[in-house]
Amino acid sequence: MVVSIVGIGLLGGSFALAIREKYPKIRFVGVDTSTVNGQLALAKGIVDEVLPLEEAVAQSTLVVMATPVNIIIDLLPRVLDLLPPGATVVDLGSTKELICGIADAHSKRAQFVAAHPMAGTENSGPSAAFKELLPGKNLIICDREKSNPDSLTLTESLFRDAGMKLFYMTPQEHDLHLAYVSHLSHISAFALGLTVLEKEKDEQAIFDMASTGFSSTVRLAKSSPQMWAPIFDQNRINVSDALSAYIEFLQQFKQVIDDQDVKTSLDFMQRANVIRRVLD
Ligand code: TYR
């Protein structure tokens, strides 16, 4: 069996490494516009070969699309056009409504599975890939009833074999939830990073703070702009609503501090502490 990874970065690379360990006989073919990424992926044993898209897809049983979401949108119709009968294409994009809409318009829709591994780091590229990324994490599959049973079963079993727990929802539910639990976190980290960099011109002071809460709060500001700009754009309506809610809380917090209203400040934070119950 041949599995192609289109976009051999952190996620595509980590998927390949996890699956290769379980199924050493699967042949992995990489597709990437960056020759450097291709070479890194070969050197790291992520893929056996790097090929142009057309050649890779033509021999694949499974094509995994793990590029930034704007490139998924561009490539998906072509990948479906080229896909052999009985083969499957799965996308791992962080947005789902637009991508599923594009798939829905294609005659081979049933060979497509929309999946989103809730896993990643602030790093990108094949050098950041590691086989422990996916085990223990969640995978969201959208519109499962639109995929044919064979394509769905192949995707589900491979991701289960990679140690993931599966959840199902509509693309609309997915994008709404992700705006709050993922996209907003990244925007607030980018904004926090910018605020501190612009206001604290002294880099040594920032460096000295690196062991404080600042570094864990701002971690996501190290994330790839090429990956995140199209995510925010594709999910702009939900992201804009999430930002409005967040800005409202920031404004209330500012007011409470300006007013020296310690009681309300305590109340805000006690309400926020409930996050422990959800996460710990
Ligand atoms: N960047 C996130 C982190 O480091 C991981 C992540 C990224 C998860 C994108 C999902 C996703 O769509 O924690």
* Short-list 14, 76, 7, 3, CA closest to 46: 14
Q: How far apart are CA 270 and CA 141, in angstroms?
A: 34
Which pLDDT score is estimated for 209?
A: 67
Mean pLDDT, the chain, whole residue set: 96
Q: Whose CA is nearest to atom 4 of ligand 1?
A: 121
Residue 31: pLDDT above 80? Answer: yes
Protein residue closest via CA to atom 7 of ligand 1 = 120
Confidence of residue 202 (pLDDT cuts 50, 70, 90): confident
Looking from the CA of residue 178, the nearest atom of ligand 1 is: 12
Q: How does residue 1 score in pLDDT terms, banded at 50, 70 and 90?
A: very high
Residue 255: CB atoms within 10 A of its CB come to 11
Nearest Cα to 112, choosing from 74, 83, 73, 71?
83
Q: Assess whether the C-beta atom of 14 lies below 6 angstroms from ligand 1.
A: no
Identity at 243, one-letter amino acid code: L
Quote the ligand 1 centre to 118 CA distance (angstroms).
6
Minimum CA distance residue for ligand 1 atom 6? 120
Using the mean position of ligand 1's atoms as its centre, give its distance from the Cα of residue 41 in Å: 21
pTM, full prediction:
0.95
ipTM (interface pTM): 0.95
pLDDT in tens, 100-132: 999 999 999 999 999 999 999 999 999 999 999
Q: Residue 213: which pLDDT band, with cuts at 50, 70 and 90?
A: confident
Which residues touch 161 (CB under 8 Å, ≥6 apart)?
Answer: 19, 22, 23
Of the candidates 99, 197, 108, 117, the one whose C-alpha atom is nearest the C-alpha of residue 156 is 117
- CB 223 near ligand 1, within 6 Å: yes
